Structures are given as structure tokens and as C-alpha cells.
Amino acid sequence: MLDKLILKEYEATTDLLREVYEYMLRLPAVPTTVDLARRVRAHLDTPSHLVASTEAAENLRTSALRHGGNYSPAGVPVIELEVEGDVVTVFTGAIDGWPADRALQHHQAVLHRLQQGETVRLESGALPRAGVF
């Protein structure tokens, strides 16, 4: 929770610095103002600031994610979910290379479980294997 507050504060500070920069551009072009505006812009454009800003946004997004899944006794994913806000992404396991009849059976079994109402307990964070399926 503290990390989320720090990230929001960092983003607010960056937004305020951008606003100050834009205001300075409207001031009379005296050497001191021009020099300070250049330094503010240089700070906003530094790779470390851009990386930190991108990481802050990604961390904030990831902290809002929840995930869960149900697995076969052998640990094979039957169904996995990732929830971001009010959007749910459903993964049903990799079946590449399976014989056609076995893949069809798997899909039918997953569909049957979904029709019966599959319960999945959610945890915080991104799905560890998101994107693998």
C-alpha cells in the first residue's frame, strides 16, 4: 500500500514539474528563466527519470492486478485468470502439439467446468505465467 502511495506521489510531482516548465515558457525570456527552464526540461528528459516514470506506471498497474487458477492433480493449468480493474482475461492451458481428439476433450472439459460455475481464488499481482498460453 505504501508503494502505491509513493508511486502516486512521484507521478504527481512529475506532473507538477511539467506544469512549472510549461509556465516558465510563458514568462519573459530573461537569462535566468531560460536557463532554469532548460534545466527542468533536461531533468524531465533524462533517461533515468523516464525509466523511473515508466517503472512507476507499470508498478502501479501491476499492483492493481489480481490472478488465480485451478490446476489438475499433476499441476497442469486447467484455467487461469488475470483481473485488471473490471476486465478478466481467461487462460485455458497450452495444447499445442496435442492430438486433435485430446485437444477437443480438453476444450470440452474446460467448457463444461465453466458452464457449471468454476470458482477461482484470486491473489494480488500479475499471473506468474501470463502470456505463456
Structural domain boundaries in the chain = 2-63, 66-124
pLDDT, the chain, mean: 79
Tens digits of residue pLDDT in 64-74: 778 888 887 87
What's the rounded Cα separation, in Å, for the pair 72 and 80?
12
Collect the ranges in the chain with pLDDT lower than 70.
1-5, 7, 49-53, 56-63, 129-133
pTM over 0.75: no
Q: What is the DSSP string of 43-67?
A: HHHSHHHHHHHHHHHHHHHHHTEEE
